[in-house]
Amino acid sequence: MGLRDWIRKRMAEVAEEGDSAPVTSLLYSVVGKDEEPVHALGEYTAATYPAALADAIRRREAVAAELRTMGIATEAGRRANLERIRELLATYPHPLAYEALILAYADQRRWDEARGVAFAARERRFEVEHSPWPEIRGEIARLNAWTPEDVEDLRREAAGELVTPGLTRRAAASSAPEAIPVATELTPALG
């Protein structure tokens, strides 16, 4: 069979299928057709779902379920579960585990370790933001983006160097007058 016969036969097959233009189908048969990238949730079937993604989601759900059972919302809970949080980060680098570990180190005034975990959390966030899978990209939607500078702010606040907006220190509050004296002239409102 010659090249012309093969091209005619291939063009006839494509015309019967109604798949695409004969030139593009010929090109795809020679060089292969690229798979389209996944753009939205639910574009997979049970047969086409990537095994690596399924494994990552299973590990993420297992870590999230265990984090929910721990009392990591309190300082005592984070301190009691510090080792287990580290183990969970090795299983799957979940953003909530990073946040709990940063706060646990900050509670214990271990600022260097907290900065290191914040750096790792920032790098993981970058990986997640650039993941080809929307299921993975969605896990950081409403979570805090920790940076080493945030840990430095926590350290400064714990040392009393940083004042929380809206709150005053006792020394400043005691020197402020409690009421405006009556003899003081008030400026009239601008009208």
Q: What is the pTM of this model?
A: 0.61
CB 59 within 8 A of CB 92: yes
Q: How confident is the model at residue 137 (pLDDT cuts 50, 70, 90)?
A: confident
Cα–Cα distance measured from residue 161 to residue 158, given in angstroms and rounded to the nearest whole number:
8
In which residue are the tokens 């020394």 written?
171
Q: How confident is the model at residue 160 (pLDDT cuts 50, 70, 90)?
A: confident
Tell me the pLDDT tens digit for each residue of 117-132: 999 998 998 998 888 8
Instruction: Please report which helix (H) or strand (E) contains residue 42, including its range.
Output: none
Tell me the pLDDT tens digit for each residue of 35-59: 665 555 556 777 778 888 889 999 9
pLDDT value at residue 164: 56
148: closest CA among 125, 117, 123? Answer: 117
CB 78 within 8 A of CB 52: no
pLDDT value at residue 191: 46
pLDDT value at residue 90: 92
